[in-house]
Each structure stands twice: as structure tokens, then as C-alpha cells.
Amino acid sequence: FVTRKVTDAAARIKLGLASELLMGNLDAKRDWGHARDYVKAMWLMLQQDQADDYVVATGRTVTVRDMCRIAFAHVGMDYQDFVKVDPAFMRPAEVDVLLGDASKAREKLGWSAETSLEDMIKEMVEADLARHRARQR
């Protein structure tokens, strides 16, 4: 997953364990959300009297570039100094924008995503830093 790739690289570069992050399309837009929020949505679905289909999404898109900016800024670094575009990571059939409409989940379940992308990325970077520091001991 690109989210983990970015946060892990930010942590590794901060700790001196890596020097760069090779990426594909930095302008791809995705609707990323926190598993904690999505599990809550699934739990609410299971509480319904009747099974139904729902889209679970934040309804907001963020570019891969902005995700890199957030992750590296959290460790006091500028992503532009470390993130390099490598054509080998470009996907020939990549969809430019993936955005979900969770209005049905909001209306019928009373659910909406609560965790911002910024908070999710910071949480992931902190977990990656802790994991790598533990390995260094």
C-alpha cells in the first residue's frame, strides 16, 4: 500500500536507514481513510435489521504528493529532498482519481469518517518510527 510505503520511508530516512523514496505518479488522487473509522462503519452495518450495500469512504481526495508532504513534514523534512519519481513505478492503466461517495452510509448509518488524513499519516509515521527504533536496539 502506498500509504505504508510513504510513512515507512519517511521514518527510515529520518532515522538514517534510507536516503530516498522512489515513487510513481505523485499526482494520483485517492480517498484514503483510517481503518478505525472503516471498522466502525462495518460494525454499524452489522447492527442494521436488513443487509444492504454501502460505500465506506471519506469523500475527500488527496494526492500522493500531499501525502508525502504531510509524512515528511511530520519528521521535520521536506519531501522534495527525498522523494524521486521513477518511471518504473508508473502504472500504465492507473486511474487518476478514486473518490467514494459515502452519503448512503451517512444517511442510513449515521456514519462519517472522523480521522483526518493528516492525523492518520502522523499516526502511521509514529508507528513506523517506533518499529524501526525497536529494531535498532
What are the tens digits of pLDDT across the range 22-72? 999 999 999 999 999 999 999 999 999 999 999 999 999 999 999 999 999
Report the predicted TM-score, pTM, of the whole model to 2 decimal places. 0.91
pLDDT tens digits, one per residue of 70-121:
999 999 999 999 999 999 999 888 888 999 999 999 999 999 999 999 999 9
Task: List the Cα angle 99/32/51 in 5-degree steps.
Answer: 70
Which structural domain range is residue 99 located in?
A: 2-136
Task: State how many domains the chain has.
Answer: 1
Place of cell 538514517: 16
Q: Can you give the CATH number for the domain in which 29 is found?
A: 3.90.25.10
